[in-house]
Amino acid sequence: MKRALITGITGQDGPYLAQLLLHKGYKVFGTYRRVSTPNFWRLQDLGIVKQVTLIPADLSDMSSLLEAVTISDPQEIYNLAAQSFVGSSFDQPLFTTDIDASGSTRFLEIIRHLKKDIRFYQASTSELYGASSEIPQHEQTPMIPNSPYAAAKLHSFHMCRIYRHSYGIQASNGILFNHESPLRGLEFVTRKITNSVAKIKLGLQKNLPLGNLSPQRDWGYAPEYVKAMWLMMQQPKADDYIIATGETHAVSEFAQEAFAAVGLNWKDYVLSDKRLHRPLDVHQLCGSPQKAETVLGWKPKVTFNELVKIMVAADLKRWKMFLDGKAFPWDAPNHSHEMDIIARNVTKDAYREAGYKKKGLKERFF
Ligand code: NAP
Ligand code: G4F
């Protein structure tokens, strides 16, 4: 029986990948962080929490990673764990660097010393292309990161390449463009929109404050993207692949489609909130999945419109269950994100009252 170790199994992609590997007959191990409130709702939502073996580990803690690899003794490691929110990387650049850059190097070192034939998947990202003006982006497009998150991920991207060429380690980079699902975190714009659309439709929310509406993203469906991760790991030689749809849409289009899915006009509800703008954003991402199609035989099927509808329908179902008084194993009701604007205002005022004068530091949100 093949054994796989998935870091970040409590996030969006981890449970979908675990589900796929379980179907393929793998013994699946996943790392989780000790947090004050357990965070297994996604694994529960897919009904697989009892089928995976959970190991406590943190990417900042080398000994816990060594322990996780020793316990799981995997043929394949999927390194999905990350501080994955671009906005937060501006607020926590050093933490982001430690996890997203050094974290993967810790694994590469473990593999180098312990067992060179472990295959390693690194969750690279379209954010690497950042300020690049080439459309569509392909594997040879220059990488110009536009955030601390992307810079840290670029480090990991290169470390995989370097360990591949220096030590023959089978490390592959999946350069995944944005992929979404009902399991997406509420802080990301797509799920923020679909969750709010559902609440607005049911009379539980009045409006939706958003930041920059013009950035364009190449949005795909997460369950399809995890299949590409697995396909990369089955190749005889490690390599780097873009996984994308080849289509790009503005944030405003996503909002328009999501409100339209419940018969509402987005312009009646979306508010512009400058505090939600980033210090530096990525204007347009659109990937060419050509190489993945040719080499891996991978092709996306779910369209942009279908993706929006899947997400809106899932959030509507959840909030209807909530109104019916049913228990729910998901994140919707009290996620801190819902309090973001309020909390941030309070913080801002509190800092002012405390005589905190230095502008630009605590007043920059997002
Ligand atoms: P996600 O939902 O944010 O999940 C991130 C996972 O990493 C969570 O399980 C989280 O644990 C874990 N984690 C965070 N910090 C950690 C630490 N210090 N030690 C151990 N685990 C830690 O992200 P995702 O959407 O599933 O994405 C998976 C990976 O693909 C990430 O590396 C992301 O950067 C990358 N990526 C994502 C996309 C996308 O569109 N989704 C596109 C390209 C690349 P907690 O649950 O405890 O927070
Ligand atoms: O949904 P986002 O936060 O995703 P972003 O920054 O594209 O990052 C995601 O995809 C990357 C792959 O390209 C991953 F590597 C990364 O881990 C993550 O999964 O923001 C998308 C766009 C941005 O331009 C942002 O400025 O939406 C814009 N936006 C406008 N209003 C907003 C909002 N983003 C968020 N999160 N919240 C808003 O209110």
* Test site for ligand 2: of 189, 216, 229, 256, most ligand atoms within 8 A of the Cβ: 189
Closest C-alpha to ligand 2, atom 26: 212
What are the structural domain ranges in the chain? 3-181+219-243, 189-215+248-359
Task: Dig out the tokens for 233 from the structure.
Answer: 């790991």
Which amino acid is it at 162?
I
3-state DSSP assignment of residue 279 = coil
3-state DSSP assignment of residue 209 = strand
102/60 Cα distance (integer angstroms):
8
Preceding omega of 223 cis (within 30 degrees of 0): no
- Tell me which DSSP letter residue 287 carries: B
Work out the burial of residue 236: count CB atoms within 10 Å of its CB; fewer than 13 is exposed, 13-18 middle, 19 or more buried: exposed
Task: Dig out the tokens for 75 from the structure.
Answer: 């043929």
* Nearest ligand to residue 218 Cα: 2
Work out the burial of residue 18: count CB atoms within 10 Å of its CB; fewer than 13 is exposed, 13-18 middle, 19 or more buried: buried
CA distances from 227 to 13, 17, 306 (A): 10, 7, 19
Q: Is 8 in the pocket of ligand 1 (CB under 6 A)?
A: yes
**Ligand 2 centre distance from Cα of residue 83 (Å):** 13
Closest C-alpha to ligand 1, atom 6: 8
Q: Is 188 in the pocket of ligand 2 (CB under 6 A)?
A: yes
Instruction: Give the atom of ligand 1 at the shortest distance from the alpha carbon of 81.
Output: 7
Residue 38 is predicted with a pLDDT of 81
Residue 42 is predicted with a pLDDT of 94
Q: Is 176 in the pocket of ligand 1 (CB under 6 A)?
A: yes
222/308 Cα distance (integer angstroms):
12
CA distances from 14 to 118, 222, 271, 314, 346 (A): 19, 10, 33, 19, 34
Of 283, 252, 284, 177, nearest to 220 by C-alpha is: 177
What is the DSSP pairing of strand 216-217 with strand 249-250? Answer: antiparallel
**Ligand 1 centre distance from Cα of residue 248 (Å):** 23
Q: What is the 3-state secondary structure (H, E, C) of 307-343?
A: HHHHHHHHHHHHHHHHHCCCCCCCCCCCCHHHHHHHH
**Which sequence positions are flagged as catalytic?**
125, 127, 149
57/14 Cα distance (integer angstroms):
15
- A 10 A CB-CB count for 357 gives 7
Closest C-alpha to ligand 2, atom 7: 178
254/231 Cα distance (integer angstroms):
29
Which CATH code is given to the segment(s) 189-215+248-359?
Answer: 3.90.25.10
Instruction: Give the atom of ligand 2 at the shortest distance from the alpha carbon of 153.
Output: 15
Q: Is 253 in the pocket of ligand 2 (CB under 6 A)?
A: no
Equal fold, 3-181+219-243 vs 189-215+248-359? no
CA distances from 108 to 36, 198, 211 (A): 30, 43, 37
* Nearest ligand to residue 191 Cα: 2
Q: Is 285 in the pocket of ligand 1 (CB under 6 A)?
A: no
The full DSSP string for 128-189 is GGTT---SSB-TTSPP---SHHHHHHHHHHHHHHHHHHHH---EEEEEEPPEE-TTS-TTSH
181/318 Cα distance (integer angstroms):
14
**Ligand 2 centre distance from Cα of residue 86 (Å):** 7
Task: State pTM to two decimals.
Answer: 0.92
Query: pLDDT truncated to tens, each residue of the chain (366 aa)?
Result: 999 999 999 999 999 999 999 999 999 999 999 888 788 999 999 999 999 999 999 999 999 999 999 999 999 999 999 999 999 999 999 999 999 999 999 999 999 999 999 999 999 999 999 999 999 999 999 999 999 999 999 999 999 999 999 999 999 999 999 999 999 999 999 999 999 999 999 999 999 999 999 999 999 999 999 999 999 999 999 999 999 999 999 999 999 999 999 999 999 999 999 989 999 999 999 999 999 999 999 999 999 999 999 999 999 999 998 888 886 656 654 444 433 433 344 444 444 444 434 444 333 332
Residue 330 is predicted with a pLDDT of 65
**Ligand 2 centre distance from Cα of residue 131 (Å):** 15
76/226 Cα distance (integer angstroms):
14
Domain covering 3-181+219-243, topology:
Rossmann fold (3.40.50)
- Tell me which DSSP letter residue 249 carries: E
Closest C-alpha to ligand 2, atom 4: 188
